[in-house]
């Protein structure tokens, strides 16, 4: 089903065309003067210059031609606005179509298209930290929105599982346990299936080794060498690497599950390695790469760049592959296996240049065709209240698990105050904490830095996740009191508050479309904040359950039930859900 704006825009375009003007001028928008009308078209103003005619005359000519079937009123006002109010039948009909459709009447604009979303990006054996939080939260939401609009959507965590951190861990383990058979280069045969260390030990080893490599050049060399040997395939190191992967990935899954973030693919940098030799050979032989100070690089700057874009490094002078090489090989794999129409990458915006280089190199070398969109969504930093990147109280980088536990404690106290039954306290607190965290993040445009202020995020009033959940819980409780409601149709209404609510509910589909088109879940947040406000206003101003006219009451119930579904679906698209009570 077409959303309301698109279907009335279509009528308006037809009218512009029939009156002899460019149909593109017929775009309709939600009214910015709700006291005057519900929708408006400003196309006549834009047309005036082009057609050298007063806008008011153009507007009048256009509405002469307009098919008014969907409108209760069409007014032209100075200097040339076209103000529109929907007819009861049209609005009721649209909402009834939403109500009777399991997917709320959303048009599956992504059907037949495939999108890969590269998000999460955790580094194996290093604890998941706050820097990875935004990638997971924004990526998960964009994934859900794409899927909802019908795209075949593949979320890939793209683990950092092939870098120096592995060499650091292996070198440190070798210092501590030189007797382990993994370190005997002459050994042949199987290695044990069970890892000789736990996640706790692993998490202690990495920061220790990383710090040591900075003050101890000898150790740094050893770690580098271990990385090279691992990458060349030394059996004992490979076996250790597998153990590290096994343990860390299980731990990462647990962390992501707790965030309600779920990947379809658990591929990583290591999976791209086997594709590198052929790819490099081809790029060299086709002349796309040149030698520069012993390194193979792909020039990617073009004459129109304002600032020079440095070449994309394919191989370093020692012959080793780097981050960019791996990303190119990963593109080879993605095109081969999935032939996607779009690939989105979610990382910190400081990686913008890296992706610009990789994208250009991939196009130049024919790895990715022009028809496939490549897009890096570089997000801003999460800052503390002092405006500096978020840190723990002792000044360290906070681990995600610790952050979640703290948020949980904070919310739990509030939940207990609200007298939630004891067995529900934990799950309720978990849901509210997640909503507070995710909405606090997603309500900002992804590229913006924002201040992490959990007091504000967790408030039950205001532009927050808990406020949205609270509204859902409130509607559910009214519906429970009413009884069976699922069969009730949407009805016309004479109540102004109900009319506002109908208009707000009716905008759902166009807001989801806009959130996807702009890769901006914050648009969906802004929409549900407004919708929740309209629901609560209606609730305060109208007797719903005590309405005496049964058919009017049934209409109100059908309407708030639909609003509830819209809110529930929206929070699902943002990546959280509502508790039973709160």
Cβ proximity to ligand ARG: between 252 and 433 the closer is 252
Closest distance of CB 114 from ligand ARG, Å = 17
Compare residues 191 and 379 and give the one whose CB is closer to ligand ARG: 379
* Residue 190, token pair as written in the block: 């199987």
The least CB distance from residue 326 to ligand ARG, in Å, is 8
- The strand ranges marked E within 67-193 are 71-77, 81-86, 114-118, 152-156
Residue 457: partners with Cβ closer than 8 Å, 6 or more residues away? 436, 437, 439, 440, 464, 465
Question: What residues form DSSP beta bridges with 295?
Answer: 292
Shortest approach of ligand ARG to residue 74 CB, angstroms? Answer: 51
| DSSP assignment letter at 311 | P
CB of 395 to ligand ARG, least distance (A): 21
Nearer to ligand ARG, 43 or 121 (CB): 121
| CA distance linking residue 334 with residue 118, whole number of Å | 11
Write out the residues near ligand ARG by the rule CB under 6 A: 118, 121, 123, 158, 160, 327, 345, 347
Q: Residue 446 CB, nearest distance to ligand ARG (Å)?
A: 15
Bridge partners, residue 156, by sequence: 118, 265
**139 vs 579, which CB is nearer to ligand ARG?**
139
The kind and range of the H/E element at 314 are strand 312-315
Q: Could you tell me the smallest distance in angstroms from the CB atom of residue 317 to ligand ARG?
A: 22
Least distance between ligand ARG and beta carbon 277 (Å)? 20
Sign of CA dihedral 47, 50, 54, 58: negative
- Residue number with the shortest CB distance to ligand ARG? 121
Contacts of 242 (CB under 8 A, 6+ apart): none
Report residue 279 CA to chain centroid gap. 31
Beta strand 312-315 with 295-298: parallel, antiparallel or unpaired?
Answer: antiparallel
| CA 121 – CA 472 distance, rounded (Å) | 33
Least Å from the CB of residue 163 to ligand ARG: 8
Which C-beta is closer to ligand ARG: that of 76 or that of 343? 343
Q: Which is nearer to ligand ARG, 327 or 441 (CB)?
A: 327
When the beta carbons of 118 and 251 are compared against ligand ARG, the nearer one is: 118
Query: Which CB sits closer to ligand ARG, 137 or 511?
Result: 137
160 or 195: whose CB is closer to ligand ARG? 160
Distance in angstroms (rounded) separating the CA atoms of residues 524 and 145: 10
Q: Which residues pair with 344 in a beta bridge?
A: 117, 375
- The minimum distance between CB 118 and ligand ARG, in angstroms, equals 5
Residues whose CB is less than 8 angstroms from the CB of residue 482 and which lie 6 or more positions away in sequence, other chains included: 545, 557
Question: Is the Cβ–Cβ distance between 52 and 4 less than 8 Å?
Answer: no
Instruction: Compare residues 24 and 320 and give the one whose CB is closer to ligand ARG.
Output: 320
Residue burial 277-311, b: 16+ Cβ < 10 Å; e: rest: eebbeebbeeebbeeeeebbbbbbeeeeeeeeeeb
| Shortest distance, position 47 Cβ to ligand ARG, whole Å | 46
Q: Closer CB to ligand ARG, residue 379 or residue 457?
A: 379
Q: How far is CA 145 from CA 121, 176, 235, in A?
A: 20, 48, 43
What is the layout of strands, in order, in the sheet containing 342-348? 152-156, 114-118, 342-348, 373-379
For the bound state, the minimum distance from the C-beta of residue 454 to ligand ARG, rounded and expressed in Å, comes to 24
């Amino acid at each position: 089903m077409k959303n309301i704006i698109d279907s009335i825009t279509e009528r308006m375009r037809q009218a512009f065309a029939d009156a002899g003007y460019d149909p593109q001028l017929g775009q309709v928008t939600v009214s910015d003067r709700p006291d005057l009308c519900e929708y408006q078209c400003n196309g006549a103003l834009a047309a005036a210059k082009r057609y050298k005619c007063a806008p008011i005359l153009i507007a009048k000519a256009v509405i002469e031609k307009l098919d008014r079937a969907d409108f209760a009123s069409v007014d032209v006002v100075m200097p040339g606005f076209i103000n529109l109010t929907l007819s009861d039948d049209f609005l009721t009909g649209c909402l009834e179509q939403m109500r009777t459709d399991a997917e709320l009447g959303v048009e599956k604009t992504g059907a037949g298209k495939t999108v890969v979303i590269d998000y999460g990006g955790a580094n194996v054996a290093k604890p998941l930290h706050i820097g990875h939080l935004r990638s997971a939260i924004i990526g998960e939401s964009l994934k859900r929105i794409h899927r909802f609009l019908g795209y075949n959507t593949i979320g890939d965590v793209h683990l950092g599982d092939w870098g120096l951190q592995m060499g650091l861990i292996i070198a440190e383990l070798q210092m501590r346990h030189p007797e382990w058979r993994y370190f005997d280069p002459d050994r042949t045969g199987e290695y044990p299936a069970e890892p000789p260390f736990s996640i706790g030990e692993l998490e202690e080893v990495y920061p220790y080794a990383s710090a040591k490599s900075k003050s101890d050049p000898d150790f740094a060399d050893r770690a580098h060498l271990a990385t090279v040997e691992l990458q060349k395939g030394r059996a004992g190191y490979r076996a250790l690497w597998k153990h590290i992967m096994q343990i860390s990935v299980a731990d990462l899954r647990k962390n992501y599950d707790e965030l309600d973030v779920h990947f379809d693919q658990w591929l990583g940098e290591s999976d791209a390695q086997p594709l590198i030799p052929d790819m490099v050979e081809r790029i060299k032989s086709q002349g796309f790469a040149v030698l520069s100070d012993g390194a193979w690089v792909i020039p990617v700057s073009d004459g129109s760049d304002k600032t020079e874009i440095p070449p994309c490094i394919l191989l370093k002078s020692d012959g080793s592959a780097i981050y960019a090489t791996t990303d190119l090989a990963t593109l080879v794999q993605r095109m081969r296996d999935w032939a996607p129409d779009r690939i989105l990458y979610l990382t910190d915006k400081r990686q913008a240049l890296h992706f610009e280089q990789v994208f250009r190199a991939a196009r130049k070398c024919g790895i990715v065709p022009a028809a496939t969109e490549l897009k890096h969504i570089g997000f801003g930093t999460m800052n503390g209240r002092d405006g500096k990147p978020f840190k723990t109280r002792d000044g360290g980088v906070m681990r995600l698990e610790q952050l979640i536990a703290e948020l949980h404690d904070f919310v739990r106290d509030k939940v207990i105050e609200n007298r939630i039954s004891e067995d529900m306290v934990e799950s309720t607190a978990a849901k509210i904490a997640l909503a507070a965290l995710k909405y606090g993040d997603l309500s900002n445009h992804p590229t913006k830095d924002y201040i992490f202020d959990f007091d504000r995020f967790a408030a039950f009033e205001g532009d927050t996740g808990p406020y949205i959940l609270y509204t859902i819980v409130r509607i559910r409780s009214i519906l429970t009191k009413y009884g069976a409601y699922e069969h009730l149709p949407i009805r016309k209404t004479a109540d102004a508050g109900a009319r506002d609510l109908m208009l707000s509910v009716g905008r759902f589909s166009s807001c989801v479309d806009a959130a996807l088109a702009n890769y901006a879940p914050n648009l969906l947040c802004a929409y549900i904040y407004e919708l929740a406000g309209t629901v609560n206003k209606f609730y305060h101003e109208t007797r719903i359950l005590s309405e005496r006219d049964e058919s009017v009451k049934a209409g109100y119930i059908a309407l708030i039930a639909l609003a509830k579904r819209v809110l529930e679906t929206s929070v699902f698209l943002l990546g959280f859900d509502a508790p039973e009570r709160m």
